[in-house]
Amino acid sequence: PGTYHHSLLVGNLGERAAELVGADPLLIRAAALHHDIGKVLRPYFFIENQISGENYHQQLDAKTSAQIIIGHVKDSIDLARKHRFPKEVIDIIAQHHGTTSVGFGYFYQQARQEGEAEIDESQFRYPGPRPCSKEAAIVMLADSVEAAVRASAPGSPSEIERIVRRITNDRLVSGELDECELTLQDLDKIRNAFIEVLQGVFHPRIQYPEKDSVTQA
């Protein structure tokens, strides 16, 4: 259920951004809804599905955890091919993490803390390829910012904006967007679209008093 909800939000983010930069919103919606289908094979190794609070990665070393998480992309591609998904959707599934570090670098840092003698940093990165289209880039960005905002539990609209700008800037500076057709102007429009949608979803809510504590007239 966590991955399903995540995918819905990625679709909402991506579709809104696509409308502003001339990308295909229907392709983005279809790809977003299915970009993580491989997670159904090992759902509880992904934090959005750990509703009980039990984290299976606490029983594993960082390298093993990273390889399980990286594997969801191949699993997703295999399922998509088995069920004859269109090539355009499969391409986005394959590219939606590019060559980024797993868990925003968390597992690589954890491996260093575990004291491994030699650490191959590439083993903690997705194998790519990087996004090669506007649609793939938008799904990557939407996936990243949704996960980051959800994990941070922001307390204000300005905090959401800071997270979105940090993640999109990181993807730009690290070269993940070098092979797609997005311009800097496009990226700015995408940021604004994401901020607008996420502020509507994650805005702080009023704490209402319990019924019994309300003074009756």
| Tens-digit pLDDT profile for residues 149-188 | 988 888 899 999 999 999 999 999 999 999 999 999 999 9
3-state helix, strand, coil in the chain (%, to 5): 70, 0, 30
| Tens-digit pLDDT profile for residues 44-70 | 888 887 776 667 777 788 888 899 999
Question: Measuring CA to CA, which residue among 84, 86, 97, 91 is closest to residue 39?
Answer: 97
Q: Residue 125 forms beta bridges with which residues?
A: 101
End-to-end, the C-alpha distance of the chain in Å comes to 43
Examine the pLDDT at 78 and tell me if it is beyond 60.
Answer: yes
- Model's pTM, two decimal places? 0.89
Residues near 215 by beta carbon (within 8 Å), at least 6 away in sequence: none
Distances (CA, A) of 113 to 69, 102, 106, 199: 19, 16, 11, 35
In this prediction, residue 216 carries a pLDDT of 47
Percent of the chain, pLDDT > 70?
Answer: 90
Helix (H, G, I), strand (E, B) or coil at 185: helix
Examine the pLDDT at 205 and tell me if it is beyond 70.
Answer: no
CA–CA distance, 177 with 187 (Å, rounded to integer): 10
Half-sphere exposure in the Cβ direction for 156 (13 Å, CA): 3
Helix (H, G, I), strand (E, B) or coil at 91: helix
Q: Which residue has the higher pLDDT, 70 or 207?
A: 70
In this prediction, residue 125 carries a pLDDT of 93
Answer whether 211's CB lies under 8 Å from 31's CB. no
CA–CA distance, 132 with 147 (Å, rounded to integer): 22
Average pLDDT (15-21) is: 97
